[in-house]
Amino acid sequence: MPAQLQSTLSKTLIILISIVVAALITAFTMFRAGVHSFLFAWTVNFMLMLCVSVVMQTLKPELSFSYFTTRNFEKKGVIYEWFGVHAFRKMMVLTGWEKLHKKGNPVKPDLQAIEQLEYNTRQAEFNHLSIFIIVQIIWIYACVVHSFKGAIWLLVLNVLLNLYPILVQRYNRPRLQRIIRLYKKHATDKIASGHVPVN
């Protein structure tokens, strides 16, 4: 079997297994606790994050499409500050998530590390956006089958676990892109002045 085909089959198998396992756990939780429960809302988000993370880590897409382009109204981040991104980030610090995330993803002060961090913001945003859309569909279904009140946990956790992380990534990305531009300009200036050899 060609190596490329074997690699493709392995990746497909990994993705399928993760989806099946997540679906079984979610279905079990739904039948045991109900779609109105906090446990179901938490499980749905956790299992979807597991699936999306497996897909992203397995396929490693470039995520270069225009959706991730920073719009003019986003560059200063004021709109996201109005929506409370700083309050959300403080909450992440208080819960210990920020410290845990930085420990698992240390940032080095060099161009390659900053570019990787910028890519990570796109990857994280894509993950949370995918989950947000799916959970919203489930929330609409739960509202129809039960009631708005009966589906409140799905909405609350979707906002906290997905919507706000999306806003944070879109708030951070322009700053990282600005740092990358400064790094590249500094390197170009050094080459132009003869301080750095071209070859």
| Structure confidence by residue, pLDDT tens digits, 105-158 | 666 778 888 999 999 999 999 999 999 999 999 999 999 988 898 899 999 999
More confident position, 69 or 44: 44
Q: Per-residue b/e over 50-84, b at no fewer than 16 CB within 10 Å?
A: ebbebbbeeeeeeeeeeebeeeeeeeebeebeeee
Q: 193 pLDDT exceeds 80? A: no
Locus of tokens 């089959």: 9
Q: What is the mean pLDDT of residues 67-83?
A: 89
| Tokens standing for residue 24 | 């079984």
Q: What percent of the chain has pLDDT over 90?
A: 60
One-letter amino acid at 33 equals A
Burial class (CB in 10 A: 0-12, 13-18, 19+), 109: exposed
Q: What is the mean pLDDT of residues 48-57?
A: 94
Predicted local confidence at residue 199, as pLDDT = 42
Q: Provide the H-helix boundaries in 146-163.
A: 152-158
Contacts of residue 193, Cβ cutoff 8 Å, sequence gap at least 6: none
The C-alpha atoms of residue 130 and residue 124 are separated, in whole angstroms, by: 10
Predicted local confidence at residue 5, as pLDDT = 74
More confident position, 172 or 103: 172
Predicted local confidence at residue 151, as pLDDT = 93
Query: What confidence category does residue 31 fall into, taking pLDDT thresholds of 50, 70 and 90?
Result: very high
The C-alpha atoms of residue 73 and residue 84 are separated, in whole angstroms, by: 16
Look at the pTM and tell me if it is higher than 0.75.
yes
